[in-house]
């Protein structure tokens, strides 16, 4: 009986360890915490991650400190300097989170509600409950007056600018297969440039890598400009989604695109 009990306890311990290991292979939540713990630990996500933010992200997710995890996520690419997100005109990390949250609330309300329900359970030891409060405020806000961006067009931005030379290399090296992108948001990255798409809503509105690449070429051409601060040409723009395709973003932004 004693041996049987020991074996049972061992089996239960193995089961729980396997379950925990399996859970770390998937993102805890796909909007603000899109990286799985395994991706961060092995640095195999669609963008390289840096320390100390990678370790802080893993620790916060494991501890259920979701505000701390989101804070680490928005620093994890190493592009925040003196509190300002790289490629922006003095946009703080919290402002970047708010911008993404409004986009998700407007365009992905069901996923945003699920994220909010998870974050409401954050640990008492969370050091960034202000982020949780911000996300909750936006969740409860009536934003129906904001115009949903549903027209097919190409729009340029002066925030989250990426070096055009990096975007050229990204487009030169990214996949152009006639294969659906599926449930991904981060499609490709090169240097300061990222190509992202909005949340997956089913095969009828999905994009192929070939089409995303074609849209990226348009954005790289139409949205090129030289900012006052620099000599190099930069790019930042997006093609808003509509009923037939997902939104495509080409910029230095490594989150959002909703």
* pLDDT tens digits along 1-60: 444 444 444 443 433 333 344 489 999 999 999 999 999 999 999 899 999 999 999 999
- Domain extent at residue 208: 148-251
Do the domain assignments include residue 173?
A: yes
pTM of the model: 0.69
Residues pairing with 178 in the sheet: none
End position of a domain, from candidates 112, 145, 178? 145
Residue 214's SS3 state is helix
Identify whether the C-beta of residue 220 lies closer than 8 Å to the C-beta of residue 171: yes
Q: How many domains does the chain have?
A: 2
Do the domain assignments include residue 65?
A: yes
154 and 141, same structural domain? no
Average pLDDT, the chain: 86
229 and 214, same structural domain? yes
Q: Which residues contact 222 (CB under 8 A, 6 or more apart)?
A: 154, 156, 237
End position of a domain, from candidates 122, 145, 168? 145
48 and 132, same structural domain? yes
| 69 token code pair | 């995890």
* pLDDT tens digits along 178-187: 899 998 999 9
Distance CA 105, CA 258 (A): 9
* pLDDT tens digits along 55-72: 999 999 999 999 999 999
Do the domain assignments include residue 202?
A: yes
Is the pLDDT assigned to residue 152 strictly greater than 70?
no
Distance CA 82, CA 106 (A): 30
Q: Which residues contact 159 (CB under 8 A, 6 or more apart)?
A: 87, 88, 89, 91, 236, 251
153 and 116, same structural domain? no
152 and 141, same structural domain? no
């Amino acid at each position: 009986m004693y041996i049987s009990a020991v074996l049972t306890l061992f089996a239960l311990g193995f089961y729980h360890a396997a379950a925990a290991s399996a859970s770390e292979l998937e993102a805890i939540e796909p909007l603000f915490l899109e990286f799985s713990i395994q991706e961060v630990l092995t640095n195999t996500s669609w963008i390289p991650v840096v320390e100390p933010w990678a370790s802080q992200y893993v620790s916060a997710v494991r501890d259920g400190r979701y505000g701390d995890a989101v804070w680490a996520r928005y620093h994890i690419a190493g592009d925040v300097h003196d509190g300002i997100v790289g490629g922006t005109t003095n946009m703080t990390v919290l402002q970047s989170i708010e911008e993404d949250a409004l986009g998700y609330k407007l365009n992905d309300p069901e996923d945003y509600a699920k994220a909010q329900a998870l974050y409401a359970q954050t640990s008492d030891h969370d050091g960034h409950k202000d982020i949780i409060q911000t996300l909750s405020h936006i969740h409860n806000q009536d934003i129906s007056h904001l115009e949903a961006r549903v027209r097919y067009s190409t729009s340029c931005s002066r925030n989250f600018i990426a070096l055009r030379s990096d975007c050229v290399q990204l487009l030169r090296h990214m996949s152009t297969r006639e294969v659906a992108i599926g449930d991904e948001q981060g499609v490709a990255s090169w240097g300061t440039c990222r190509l992202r798409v909005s949340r997956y809503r089913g095969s009828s509105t999905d994009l192929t890598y070939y089409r995303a690449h074609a849209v990226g070429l348009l954005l790289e051409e139409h949205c090129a400009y030289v900012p006052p601060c620099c000599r190099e040409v930069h790019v930042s723009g997006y093609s808003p989604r509509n009923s037939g395709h997902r939104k495509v973003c080409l910029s230095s932004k490594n989150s959002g695109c909703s």
